[in-house]
Structure 1
């Protein structure tokens, strides 16, 4: 039986010049409201620290007054400002209740920007397979590899650092569970092989960062040199007391090199995400219960010889994909403590002690069974 889930669908949208200007104005207005409300919260706390934490509705009541004082706020979608208030209050509450970082003021220099729009009175509509209607923007063409089925709850309009525009739809849709296979698998995560299953299947590591390393390094060198040249020119302008000294954003050759580096980083991330999606989908289709180790990646990154290879693997992203896909399709993901999984014999349970990383195969001195280090760990994870 199909179950309702909230699902995110990413669309690549292609706004025209007027729509890009409207999106840019929305970025600015949402940033302005965030900064104004955050300043108000700080002042409120300084005046009376004993006051209870406000709700997002409290900030929403201030929006009409803020629009009267700053008429340019009327040009953007009102629900996007309400979402900004909600996000600010959540961050503000987390600081006091969960001791997270205090919300920061937003700068217009940050290249990656976004805002959200709620579905109100059918103001968001997908016309056909290539056209979507968004509030304040109108009709816009898009591309996507997923079918859009269900009720749209909200849309996030985002511009990436490579100046590409996306609309991420949050859709309430029904998903049919996959057929049960009655199989259980354990997953060991590694560096030479990305995923090793308890059945002996190994998904190899693909170093997408190395495949594009030369082209990326070509532009990284030019970016560093052009940044230094621009900073030297800016310092010279200050020394000569130029009335309007230039900033880094005014140097086109520097901006071009920065864009090219960002494009290669984006391509590497897209290739890695696509590979992880393929692996996670295969595992969810083949097994009813998936057990994987709970690796502390932050600790492993302290090994400077393997830090770049570990960062390339995307273990946490794979775990996230398996978690939501398992819930979608009626499967189960179990997280297992990896303690001694690679040194305990999966055949007899004998603890042979810690093995160096260069030892990939070992023989159990108790039962004389030869083990592949990673497959043995996956078997122990499966039986945990």
Structure 2
């Protein structure tokens, strides 16, 4: 008698045969499910790793741009005559890596909603180019985040008055203080500049009023009187500043270009006018006009613009020195500009260049006390 005949079977031979044929099919289905689960888990894990890496890269990039969301230094306001020598330091334009990866990361940084309170102005500036001080004998230029700029200027009053170069600088500072105002729209004409200055001027005033004085008072004032285009400039400009805006911590002034152009390029008239006005505003820092070339084709004008202004620069600088006026000299900042980026026609239409002027202005008005 066969042994297996003695073993009681719970299933019939037919059932056992059927089970033996179904087992490989069931096993294959189980294996396919496990493979799908494994693939999904792998993809999810990979995506998470990529997300973490990108978040860390964005965090590092943000730290490189503005030192993080919190001020890394404690800044205090520097009274007159400020630190005007900073602006005349040599300046080399540096551009970020041209690699697509770096550009993509910077673009993500400037638009990402995952980063709390990103300083959009500075990230955009980093992507467009950086003015890096050359030489070790000058004080290093600090790139202010919006919070750092506000920590220095809080409770202060800084007025701007004068020509279009002063207006451009004013808009640049407004965009650093309030990044939501920042724009890359170029000033192709006076109308665009006027609209931008009106927007910045109005917004800064409203924010100051709502803050009950904790936000700095930054305003463009005496626009007609101190522009340099009016015949009564010598009397009207000082009178407007003295009567309407006597209390201030800093005054940024400049009108030489309009005085020069509206007097048929008379250097003597321009110098005599400023020689009369400067003693009336002894706390002014002068916004020096750029060293523009003798002739430059201006696309917005569609005709050559003839300006014989270069010989006049040394005379103007000497006058300012004689009056002990701090000079904000942007020549080093813009000397390597071309029409393709920040325009060597003297108009400096590109907004990011004017934001860099504002950065240098902040370096003249503020100093770091100590690292926090």
TM-score over 0.5 (shorter chain): no
Report which of the two has the higher share of helix. Answer: 2
Q: TM-score of the superposition, structure 1-length normalised?
A: 0.28
Higher strand share: 1
TM-score (ref. length: structure 2) = 0.28
Question: Structure with the greater relative contact order (CA < 8 A, sep ≥ 6): 1 or 2?
Answer: 2
